[in-house]
Amino acid sequence: MSLLAVSHLTREFGGVKAVDDVSFQIEAGTIHAVIGPNGAGKTTLFNLITGVYTPSSGTMRFAGTEANHQPPERLARLGMSRTFQNLQICMNMSAIANVMVGAHLRLNHGLFAGMFHLPTLRRADRACREEAAELMRFVGVGAYIDAHASEMPYGALKRLEIARSLAAKPKLLLLDEPAAGLNDSETHEVDALIQKLPPAGVTVVLVEHDMKLVMNISDRILVLNYGRRLAEGTPREIRENPDVIAAYLGTGG
Ligand X SMILES: Nc1ncnc2c1ncn2[C@@H]1O[C@H](COP(=O)(O)OP(=O)(O)OP(=O)(O)O)[C@@H](O)[C@H]1O
Query: Which residue number, 26 or 34, has a Cβ lying nearer to Mg ion?
Result: 34
Query: Distance between CA atoms of 228 and 237, rounded to whole angstroms?
Result: 18
Query: Which residue number, 43 or 241, has a Cβ lying nearer to Mg ion?
Result: 43
User: In whole angstroms, how close is the CB of 171 to ligand X at the nearest point?
Assistant: 23
Q: Which stretch binds ligand X (CB under 6 A): 38-46, 102-110, 121-129, 153-161?
A: 38-46
Instruction: Please count the residues of this chain forming the interface with Mg ion, following the rule CB under 5 A.
Output: 3
Site for ligand X in 69-108 (CB under 6 A): 85
Instruction: Please count the residues of this chain forming the interface with ligand X, following the rule CB under 6 A.
Output: 11
Which run of H or of E encompasses 195? Answer: helix 184-196
User: In whole angstroms, how close is the CB of 148 to ligand X at the nearest point?
Assistant: 29
**Site map 34..73 versus Mg ion, x via CB under 5 A:** --------xx------------------------------
Residue 164 interacts with, from ligand X, Mg ion, none (CB under 5-8 Å by kind): none
Q: Are 80 and 175 in contact (CB under 8 A)?
A: no
Using CA atoms in the order 7, 12, 17, 18, what is the torsion angle rounded to 10 degrees?
-80
Q: Residue 27 carries which DSSP code? A: -
- Kindly give the pairing relationship between strand 57-62 and strand 65-66: antiparallel
Query: Distance between CA atoms of 31 and 151, rounded to whole angstroms?
Result: 31
Length of the chain, please?
A: 253
Interaction site with Mg ion (CB under 5 A): 42-43, 85
